[in-house]
A and B are shown apart, each in its own frame.
Chain A
């Protein structure tokens, strides 16, 4: 890895934030390098949006430090914000302006000099696929285009750090794919933080994942590892002539069998040894009439549960050993 410190574009240390007595963000620390896409994963209300508002200076933390490209956001906000692009949950659009007018305004607002605005505008419009709607009034655009205009205003000044709050919400599948490609491309040059509650989004665009729960970062890893977590060890099997549950559970490697209907079962097994082939051959030999065998797709919930239960287990282990 190249020089570590100079490449850190965003660093947040020990952020804390409460609304009234309610502690919303509890000791969150983040670091982001150039050319990296970080996914902030969590359910609604986990504190993702609040964290992003603090990272962009829209909300002040009660304690903690934020640095953007080495400039302190709380002490030198104007200088630090020049390196920042932000797309909030709801795109900050002036509905009465045309796309070109709005983006030119956003560019000037972010400190692009008047003579170079046209270049920046043309490039961003091209990047975000807005060529056909440049002269249209924003209020008349579809949700997907409005979202793209929102992304365009965040990247028009080519900032070092781009913060995107749920960038694909409300888009149709084709648009989601386009936006993800766009984010992936952006992530190669800039640093991107994006929040989401979709695991597939993290898988397809992020280099690194932070899972957030109740205002805390509970898990941090590369998305490669995350994917392994996501592959639940189990499958759904349909047998038209099923044996007893005990017979199934006796198969080597199967840890648990749960009947869903009389012919459909959820089979869980140890991650190390997959009993699929054994089950297949036994079904053939003993005439169980196997019809379907689908690997379980883990939901975010499953991954959460696994990670959080892992943490809890570690904690209790620690307590027991300390005794």
Chain B
């Protein structure tokens, strides 16, 4: 059932011309950034060679690119999640799911995995681009895989938060702005706080992603993302259930 719902979300997304437009624009941005940093790398390579601990092409080209993706996701995910529940409720198509013989948990998980799959498809071009470099040089596979895992976990935390905000309102725009406000708020609180042990660092997903980005695989970060996603998914299920109680 979850797979059926996820596939429906995907089909719905790919049926819209705006989705393809967005995919094209993003791919253009990623490629442009990639080629740009690659060119810079080639220009400064002679100078880099003189350093004692030489940063490789993965650190100079791939890491900033992953960082850029994390930043773009913050703005992209709310736009995509606003459709998931708020718009369905506004279009009255949500009654189809509510009157169908499946638990609300399946509805929420179906939407979550549907959107997660879409975002993975959207970002799939980037590792492919990076791995073309393997034709001419050797890459730091550990760093790339760590970044990809971090990006996946970050995406799932953003999607679950976006879904929850989307379940709070029937106005898609309010859902988008609300989710964006929370995500940007968490990010700003993280970079604004200078204290090392601040709680703001702890609750900010971006902060946890930074460690993956630097090539640091800490199990506490993985646990944080899983907990973050699980909490918001559960809140979403509760919220939809409460909508049936309070009308």
Chain A interface (Cβ < 8 Å from any Cβ of B): 19, 53, 56-60, 77-82, 84, 86, 88-97, 101, 105-106, 108-111, 137, 153
Partner of B244 from the list A60, A90, A93, A108 (CB cut-off 8 Å) is A60
Cβ distance A273 to chain B, nearest Cβ, rounded Å: 51
Rounded to whole angstroms, the CA-CA distance of A137 and B100 in the bound complex is: 23
**Is B91 on the interface with A (CB-CB < 8 A)?**
yes
The answer to whether A105 touches B245 (Cβ under 8 A) is: no
**Is B44 on the interface with A (CB-CB < 8 A)?**
no
The answer to whether B101 touches A97 (Cβ under 8 A) is: no
**Is B49 on the interface with A (CB-CB < 8 A)?**
no
> A110 and B100 in contact (CB under 8 A), knowing A59-B247, A97-B12, A105-B4?
yes
Q: Which residues of A contact B103 (CB under 8 A)?
A: 77-78
Q: List 5 A-B contacts (CB under 8 A).
A: A56-B99, A58-B95, A92-B94, A105-B8, A109-B102
Contact with A along B1-22 (1 / 0, CB 8 A): 1001100100110011000000
Q: Which residues of A contact B92 (CB under 8 A)?
A: 88-92
Rounded to whole angstroms, the CA-CA distance of A57 and B4 in the bound complex is: 21
Rounded to whole angstroms, the CA-CA distance of A101 and B11 in the bound complex is: 9
> A95 and B91 in contact (CB under 8 A), knowing A108-B4, A110-B101?
yes
Closest to A19 in B: B247
**Is B181 on the interface with A (CB-CB < 8 A)?**
no
Q: Which residues of B contact A137 (CB under 8 A)?
A: 15
Q: Which residues of B contact A58 (CB under 8 A)?
A: 95, 98-99, 244
Q: Which residues of B contact A94 (CB under 8 A)?
A: 8, 12, 93
Q: Which residues of A contact B102 (CB under 8 A)?
A: 78, 81, 109
Rounded to whole angstroms, the CA-CA distance of A163 and B200 in the bound complex is: 51
The answer to whether A82 touches B101 (Cβ under 8 A) is: yes
Closest to A54 in B: B244
Partner of B96 from the list A19, A79, A92 (CB cut-off 8 Å) is A92
The answer to whether A109 touches B95 (Cβ under 8 A) is: no
Q: Which residues of A contact B245 (CB under 8 A)?
A: 60
Cβ distance A203 to chain B, nearest Cβ, rounded Å: 28
Q: Which residues of A contact B99 (CB under 8 A)?
A: 56-58, 81, 84, 86
Cβ distance A197 to chain B, nearest Cβ, rounded Å: 19
B61-96 CB contacts (< 8 Å) to partner A: 91-96
Closest to B5 in A: A109
Partner of B101 from the list A79, A88, A153 (CB cut-off 8 Å) is A79
Q: Which residues of A contact B15 (CB under 8 A)?
A: 96-97, 137
Q: Which residues of A contact B98 (CB under 8 A)?
A: 56-58
